[in-house]
A and B are shown apart, each in its own frame.
Chain A
Amino acid sequence: MSIAAKPVSGVFDVERVRADFPILEQKVHGKPLVYLDNAATSQKPRAVIDAISHYYEGTNANIHRAVHHLSEQATEEYEAARITAQKFINAGSPTEIIFVRGTTEGINLVAQTFGRANIHAGDEVIVTDMEHHSDIVPWQLLAQDRGAKLRVAPINDRGELILEEYEKLLGPKTKLVCVTHVSNALGTINPVRQIIEMAHAQGVPVLVDGAQAVPHLKVDVQALDCDFYSFSGHKIYGPTGIGVLYGKKALLEAMPPYQGGGDMILSVTFEKTTYNRLPYKFEAGTPDIAGVIGLGAALKYLTGIGIQKIGGYEHELLDYATAAVSKIPGLKIIGTAKEKAGVLSFTLENIHPHDIGTILDQEGIAIRTGHHCSQPVMRRFGVDSTARASFAMYNTKQEVDALARGIEKVREVFA
């Protein structure tokens, strides 16, 4: 079975891409579905759905266990997906790819292992003002447990990290920097390469939350020189419940295990357990085998189209959308960084985002409303919540036009 995408030559053929996503054909409230909630989760191409069905129908067995045929085949597919993921972010070795439930679990893994081993009373962890709750709360829990301190690098009114202020926070007490690659609430692309350089100049490792970046940008963890990089499968056209934590081998090797159980051991006696080698040391218990295979299919599908080509098309779409909604009276875009990807967050006069969301839904348009699990960002911009349209490679300019018409309708209802 082939799970690679049909190569799209020359210009980006969005209709061809759309045809790969069965869910996009449906109508909502009698209108064609306009799915603009991709930063929450993306839709799945046929290649991913088929890969999962194919696994359950043809090769389901537990991995790394038995000598029988199916187990061998399942193990092979599972490990092939690890290599696909390794190549996708250009990690140096497949042993640096740990399968986790998602970005959140990847971050918690680092907090509970690297964090507990290296962060002590009086130490500091730096996060930014634009982090998702999943890159704040794990560090808060760790800081409370350890008597360590969370320092917050500020952002400017456009939603860009203030690098000089961030650099000032770095010091001998800093044990880790945690930064999002792309902000889920604002769309800001952070200059992570520079952020990492500044941290490394002081010997501080950096964890990058890549959940919103991998679907839009070419990520090369070696070029970035990040120490940890975490992302979710479901935001990159793969299944929910699966994600990847990349870590530099030397760091992973020095870290204590995360969870105990089967597969993460070499030998167990009641006196002592010898842990398995990387990456299995961090993959206790039977993993989400189907999820991993589905994720592998998603990454192959994306690679087939070309992530740069996708990024270019999405950038054009975001520019088009920004221009279209900017014309709407009373609409204010939250997050106007120079470098942005995929996200258009806005407020509309005094109309609450929930009401905007309900009215757009009646037009078949799915957007997210609320605080986007980023309450500090909302406070920074003096709002409780925003409406957020977020784009994927299968969205079209016609859909952006539908969004703009929908927002006009919201204004009519509240006129």
Chain B
Amino acid sequence: MSDLRDLYQDVILEHSKAPRNYREQPAANHKAEGFNPLCGDHFTIFITLDGDKIQDISFQGSGCAISKASASMMTQTLKGKTRAEAEQLFTRFHDLVTGHAEGGAGSETELGKLEVFSGVSEFPVRVKCATLAWHTLNAALEGKQEAVTTE
């Protein structure tokens, strides 16, 4: 059971049951849908960018405990961050869950609470679950603004 507890840490289970920022943002100026065709998980990420800063970020959708907790904690972490910081965090998070993480960190890009996902690296088939929200975030940030309903 110890291995399983590395993956299903209490924080992760708690976020999967009560995800934060789980709401639509009709006024979001960036939005993208991400899904994993293999398992049917799908999420929509909503971002309100103010210049370069993520003023608000939320999500909706369905998926496993890992993907849902990852989306929830990602939105918590990224609120108030800049685009560049978000991109750096994604790189570090990706390294963490794929087992390529290195020690030491610049203060702006510290993973903090997201470190609970380190157990995912022991479960390679679950890496996609943990990174789905982040890939969707990237798509939302890269998407052209006119493609999103801003009115």
Q: Please list the residues of chain A having a beta carbon within 8 angstroms of any beta carbon in chain B.
A: 29, 351-355, 358-359, 362, 369-371, 375, 378, 384-385, 409, 413-414
Determine the chain A residues whose CB is within 8 A of the CB of B4 once the complex forms.
358-359, 362, 413
A358 and B7 contact, Cβ closer than 8 Å, known pairs A352-B64, A414-B13? yes
Tell me the smallest distance from the CB of B116 to a CB of chain A, in Å.
15
- Give Cα A353 to B66, complex, Å: 12
Tell me the smallest distance from the CB of A19 to a CB of chain B, in Å.
31
- Give Cα A354 to B36, complex, Å: 12
A355 and B38 contact, Cβ closer than 8 Å, known pairs A362-B4, A413-B4, A413-B8? no
Q: Do residues B3 and A385 form an inter-chain contact, with CB atoms below 8 A?
A: no
Q: Do residues B40 and A355 form an inter-chain contact, with CB atoms below 8 A?
A: no
Q: Do residues A355 and B3 form an inter-chain contact, with CB atoms below 8 A?
A: no
- Give Cα A414 to B14, complex, Å: 9
Report which residue of A371, A375, A384 has the largest number of chain B beta carbons within 10 angstroms of its beta carbon.
A384
Determine the chain A residues whose CB is within 8 A of the CB of B62 once the complex forms.
384
Contact of A354 among B1, B42, B64 (CB under 8 A): B64
Hey, what's the 0/1 contact readout for B34-49 against A, CB within 8 Å counting as 1?
Answer: 0000111110000000
Determine the chain A residues whose CB is within 8 A of the CB of B68 once the complex forms.
352
A414 and B40 contact, Cβ closer than 8 Å, known pairs A358-B7, A358-B126, A362-B4? no
Q: Do residues B40 and A384 form an inter-chain contact, with CB atoms below 8 A?
A: yes
Report which residue of A355, A370, A371, A378 has the largest number of chain B beta carbons within 10 angstroms of its beta carbon.
A355
Q: Do residues A370 and B3 form an inter-chain contact, with CB atoms below 8 A?
A: no
Q: Which residues of B44-95 have CB atoms within 8 Å of chain A's CB atoms?
A: 62-66, 68
Tell me the smallest distance from the CB of B17 to a CB of chain A, in Å.
8
Tell me the smallest distance from the CB of A377 to a CB of chain B, in Å.
12
- Give Cα A358 to B40, complex, Å: 16
Q: B129 contacts the other chain (Cβ, under 8 Å)?
A: yes
- Give Cα A375 to B8, complex, Å: 28
Q: Do residues A385 and B7 form an inter-chain contact, with CB atoms below 8 A?
A: no
Hey, what's the 0/1 contact readout for B1-20 against A, CB within 8 Å counting as 1?
Answer: 10110011000010000000
Determine the chain A residues whose CB is within 8 A of the CB of B8 once the complex forms.
355, 359, 413-414
Which residue from chain B places its CB closest to the CB of A354 in the assembled complex? Answer: B64
Show 17 residue pairs from A and B whose CB-CB distance is below 8 angstroms, ordered by the A residue. Answer: A352-B64, A352-B68, A354-B39, A354-B41, A354-B66, A354-B126, A354-B129, A355-B65, A358-B4, A358-B126, A359-B8, A362-B1, A362-B4, A370-B39, A370-B40, A413-B8, A414-B65
Determine the chain B residues whose CB is within 8 A of the CB of A414 once the complex forms.
8, 13, 65
